[in-house]
Amino acid sequence: QGLGGLVPGAGHRQGGRHVSALASSAVPRLRPMRDTDLERVIAIELTAYDFPWTLGIFHDCLRYGYTCMVFENDDDLLGYGVLSLGANECHLLNICIAPAFQGCGHGTQLIDGLLDVARTMAARVAFLEVRASNHAAYHVYTKMGFNELGVRKNYYPANHGREDAILLAREL
């Protein structure tokens, strides 16, 4: 719901040729998150994560000046990111692409955009954590130049106890 029912690779016929439903939308863009986005943001968060952030957490991030961005095209909210900035560092706290739009390179585009925002705010290094079990995200991050710094034991809630986080960083 709210994502238009699009499935990566799905499409339709236009003028006798097959056109990807995802390719037919405008180029995705990053913009600041607004309170009016939160209904769609939380809908994505609830479908993407077993242990999602609450609506209150997103409200607090907006209220307390975290950098909160949405990644959208003309038709859909594709994802979002939340980062904190200070002392010439940024910490990517939440990076999410809606499941219906994953596997299309949007995650890389979103992260590139978030890092560009961080650079304009004088950040020189970026940090993030990733679940040890999230191999797809880990691969994206390392492909983008993030390097493993260590492990945060029992960092994330899990279905059976807690799960470790891998701490990654890269220079900007």
Query: Could you read off the pLDDT of 51-82 as tens digits, one per residue?
Result: 999 999 999 999 999 999 999 998 899 999 99
Query: Could you read off the pLDDT of 150-171 as tens digits, one per residue?
Result: 999 999 999 999 999 999 999 9
The catalytically annotated residue of 129, 148, 155, 156 is: 129
Cα–Cα distance, 115 to 94 (Å, whole number): 13
Q: Is the pLDDT of residue 126 over 50?
A: yes
Query: Could you read off the pLDDT of 28-41 as tens digits, one per residue?
Result: 999 999 999 999 99
- Is 114 strand, coil or helix? helix
Residue 129 annotated in active site: yes
Q: In what order do the strands lie in the sheet with 77-86?
A: 29-32, 67-72, 77-86, 89-97, 125-131, 161-171, 147-158
The catalytically annotated residue of 66, 80, 141, 156 is: 141
Please give the average per-residue pLDDT across 11-40, as a whole number: 68
Residues facing 130 on adjacent strands:
166
